């Protein structure tokens, strides 16, 4: 039941402000389920693949998905997503938490700047547009694999600012690109033992339902207030993560031994 609640909360708040649920899901899994940071990132990425499928299908029905742009983004991101997942696995727990804290604060700043994102006067076209999408894919793929998130936080502003996509169209492209990228990152995390499959049956339905409810409510509540509240929560959570202390050598050894036993038992 608690897994369903985490999925609902992540999907609901993500749907309210137009973000993937990973930024909410990961702190909840670490704080409530006492999951390791590494497993929270891997498990989140698996759940977000289903969010991408559902969201992309909804946008496609409304004609707001550019298939070619999604393919270009994914073509580079699928390679760096694997590298990002492996990099996250190699980081000590406390360093991954600090990195995630910095990422949460970056997300909150981008969220606050969202109303001020306008098209450039002469957006990139032709080969320049393709180059921007390829470079964006390289960066966001790595970020997605490392942080256990969809990557839309970076993809959407880049497309809106540099390539002339509307906010709505950019979100559709981002969701579709998230599916293959998330699959590669999630598979890599699974091979590394960073996915808790036992909570997925509750987590996935919860995040899908929560995303629908949050997205529906977003049209009723004032968007400006929502963004400020959500950004404040993310900054507070990110600051807590940034203050994660380096464990003593003895505690670090015990933590690694415990994780090793868990992987063998699973």
| Tens of pLDDT, residues 171-186 | 788 888 888 998 999 9
pLDDT of residue 263: 45
Helix (H, G, I), strand (E, B) or coil at 224: helix
Q: Using one digit for the tens of pLDDT, what is the confidence trace for 216-235? A: 776 676 767 777 877 888 88
Has residue 237 got a pLDDT over 70?
Answer: yes
* Neighbour-count burial for 245-266, b at 16+ CB within 10 Å, e otherwise: eeeeeeeeeeeeeebeeeeeee
* pLDDT over 70 at 11, yes or no: yes
10 — pLDDT class (breaks 50, 70, 90)? confident
Burial of 201 (0-12, 13-18, 19+ CB in 10 A): exposed
pLDDT greater than 50 at residue 256: no
- Taking the C-alpha atoms of residue 103 and residue 216, their distance in angstroms, rounded to an integer, is 27
Looking at residue 255, its pLDDT comes to: 52
pLDDT band at 79 (very low <50, low <70, confident <90, very high): very high
pLDDT digits (tens, 9 = 90+) for 134-173: 999 999 999 889 988 877 778 888 888 788 887 778 878 8
pTM of the model: 0.79
Tokens of 157: 């502003």
Q: Give 258 or 69, the one with higher predicted confidence.
A: 69
The yes-or-no verdict on residue 133 having pLDDT over 80 is: yes
Q: Domain boundaries in the chain?
A: 2-265
Q: Give the model's pLDDT for residue 88.
A: 93
């Amino acid at each position: 039941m608690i897994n369903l609640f985490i999925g609902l909360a992540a999907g609901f708040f993500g749907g309210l402000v137009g973000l993937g649920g990973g930024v909410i899901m990961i702190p909840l899994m670490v704080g409530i389920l006492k999951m390791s940071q590494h497993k929270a990132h891997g498990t989140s990425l698996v759940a977000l693949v289903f969010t991408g499928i559902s969201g992309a299908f909804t946008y496609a029905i409304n004609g707001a998905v550019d298939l070619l742009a999604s393919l270009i983004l994914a073509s580079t991101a699928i390679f760096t997503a694997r590298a990002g997942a492996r990099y996250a696995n190699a980081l000590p727990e406390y360093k991954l938490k600090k990195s995630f804290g910095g990422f949460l604060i970056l997300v909150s700043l981008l969220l606050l700047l969202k109303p001020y994102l306008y098209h450039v006067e002469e957006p990139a076209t032709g080969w320049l547009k393709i180059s921007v999408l390829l470079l964006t894919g390289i960066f966001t793929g790595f970020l997605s694999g490392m942080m256990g998130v969809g990557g839309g936080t970076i993809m959407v502003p880049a497309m809106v600012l540099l390539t002339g996509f509307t906010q709505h169209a950019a979100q559709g492209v981002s969701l579709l690109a998230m599916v293959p990228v998330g699959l590669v990152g999630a598979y890599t995390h699974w091979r590394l033992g960073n996915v808790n499959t036992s909570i997925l049956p509750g987590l996935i339905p919860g995040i899908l339902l929560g995303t629908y409810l949050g997205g529906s409510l977003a049209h009723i509540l004032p968007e400006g207030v929502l963004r400020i509240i959500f950004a404040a929560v993310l900054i507070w959570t990110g600051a807590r993560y940034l203050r994660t202390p380096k464990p003593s050598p003895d505690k670090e050894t015990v933590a690694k031994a415990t994780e090793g036993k868990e992987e063998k038992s699973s």
